[in-house]
Amino acid sequence: MKYLLDTHAFIWFVENDPRLSPTARLLIEDSTNELWLSIASVWEMAIKVNLNKLSLGMPFRQAITLRTSQNNILILGIEVKHTFQVADFPLHHRDPFDRIIAAQSLTENLPLISIDAAFDPYGVQRVW
């Protein structure tokens, strides 16, 4: 099965954070699953690292490159069709990163591994 990781799910997994649910951990660790991380999540982490609101334990470029490669996580780029979906969304949520991640989840038919119930009004298939 294919899954899209929310930003926090990626961070909590690579940092072995106990806040990651057992279900999420099993899905991410299952080598038969195809895992995707939105470039929006990478961008969000870059901003937070730059503002000293997030530390990844190593330089940002190295952390993203190493952690995605070690865990066979693919990067999902933002395409025009994703922005069309965002434009059609009602304004349930103002976070632009979450809105594009929701759009990618719906457009690409990728269930989203996330604790964040803010995705639910958009009809995203969320697992946690």
- Indicate which CATH number applies to the domain containing 19: 3.40.50.1010
Per-residue pLDDT of the chain (128 residues; tens, 9 = 90+): 999 999 999 999 999 999 999 999 999 999 999 999 999 999 999 999 999 999 999 999 999 999 999 999 999 999 999 999 999 998 877 889 999 999 999 999 999 999 999 999 999 999 99
User: What residue spans of the chain are helical by DSSP H?
Assistant: 7-14, 22-29, 39-50, 60-70, 80-88, 96-107
Tell me what pLDDT residue 59 has: 95
Domain count, the chain: 1
Tell me what pLDDT residue 93 has: 75
Phi/psi at 125 (nearest 5 deg)? -80, 105
Tell me what pLDDT residue 90 has: 84
How does 81-95 read in b/e, with b if 16+ C-beta sit within 10 Å?
A: ebeebbeeeeeebee
Phi/psi at 76 (nearest 5 deg)? -100, 115
Tell me what pLDDT residue 91 has: 81
Tell me what pLDDT residue 8 has: 97
Q: What is the DSSP letter of 20?
A: S
Q: Find the domain containing 119 and state its range.
A: 2-127
Which residue type occupies 60?
F
Tell me what pLDDT residue 61 has: 96
